[in-house]
Amino acid sequence: MIFVAGKSGQVARSLEEAAVDQGLHLQAYGRPELDIASPESIEAVVMAANPAAIINAAAYTAVDQAESEEELATKVNADGPAALASVAAKLKVPFLHISTDYVFDGSKASAYVETDPVGPTGAYGRSKLAGEKAVLAANPRAIILRTAWVYSPFGKNFLKTMLSLAGRDRLTVVADQFGNPTYAPDIANMLLGIWFRLEGEGEPTPEQAGIYHMSGSGSTSWHGFAEAIFEEGAKYGLPKPEVAAIPTSEYPTPAKRPANSRLDCSKLKRVFGLQQPDWRDSTAECVKRLSQMGELG
């Protein structure tokens, strides 16, 4: 059984669906049975499940709110994951942990590789970087996967927000922040793909363990992403508003966003033979699915 920490988030819900499709026994845990913000309670829950692998898809992701709740963000994004990693080490099973592009300051001109210097500019990024360090300290055989710009048919995300605004005549979207839009079902497939490659081998080898980047292939700006979303929505009858490009300075937020969130994912392909689809294809797939679900707009 694959134990997933996190139940209601985009990745956890995508993992549950993917496991059904692939015939895997996977169980997602959330509150009240598992509270990632209470690290002292985690070991008993995981030990009782006796899993063959642990995936941490639980996180504090309210980037702006974290500026005033850094202690809570750190408890959820660092202390809880460290407890999960420690249990995985005791059980000698794979531990996969999701991290973020926010560990970087965004000043690099090209895509980030795993060995680039980190330097988070806000509380959320600091809490996630603390999580990476705590996880590897508790379990040197852990696998950490940094991703970015996550969206899906579930919950709240940029793609669904844009579609909900399709009826407006004109929108403004930031055009000087660049990254890799990443579809949560693609993340789920990557995580399970890693599990398949580790299955029967127990913990990852020292060569397999460590930090990876795992985001959609290709990059764009938030403005470019919005334009692509509306182009897909128009195929299903949604109006296509004018999308005006603006600089970050015209859209101030409590937390500073990285200007460059692009992640180089070649290590994941080199070690595990895995690569995410092009972000445009996944965007089209997500909009199509929302249409089929009757949830466009």
- The catalytic site residues sit at 124
pLDDT digits (tens, 9 = 90+) for 112-159: 999 999 999 999 999 999 999 999 999 999 999 999 999 999 999 999
- pTM across the whole model: 0.95
Domain edges within the chain: 2-156+182-218+262-277
pLDDT bin (cut points 50, 70, 90) of residue 8 is confident
Inter-CA distances, 178 with 211, 218, 277, 278, Å: 22, 11, 18, 15
3-class secondary structure per residue, 81-136 = HHHHHHHHHHHCCCEEEEEEHHHCCCCCCCCECCCCCCCCCCHHHHHHHHHHHHHH
Torsion, Cα of 264, 270, 271, 273 (10° steps):
100
Domain 2-156+182-218+262-277 homologous superfamily, CATH? NAD(P)-binding Rossmann-like Domain (3.40.50.720)
State the chain's mean pLDDT as an integer: 95
Closest CA to 106 of 24, 38, 59, 174: 174
Half-sphere exposure (CA, 13 Å, Cβ side) for 46?
A: 31
Would you say residue 202 has pLDDT above 80?
no
What distance in Å separates the CA atoms of residue 58 and residue 49, rounded to the nearest whole number? Answer: 17
Q: How far apart are CA 153 and CA 163, in angstroms?
A: 11
Task: Please compute the mean of the pLDDT values over residues 46-62 and round it to a whole number.
Answer: 94
Q: How far apart are CA 54 and CA 6, in angstroms?
A: 11
- Read off the pLDDT of each residue in 254-271 and give the average, rounded to a whole number: 95
Q: Give CA angle at 69 (46, 128), nearest 5°.
A: 55
Name residue, tokens 């795993």.
Answer: 114
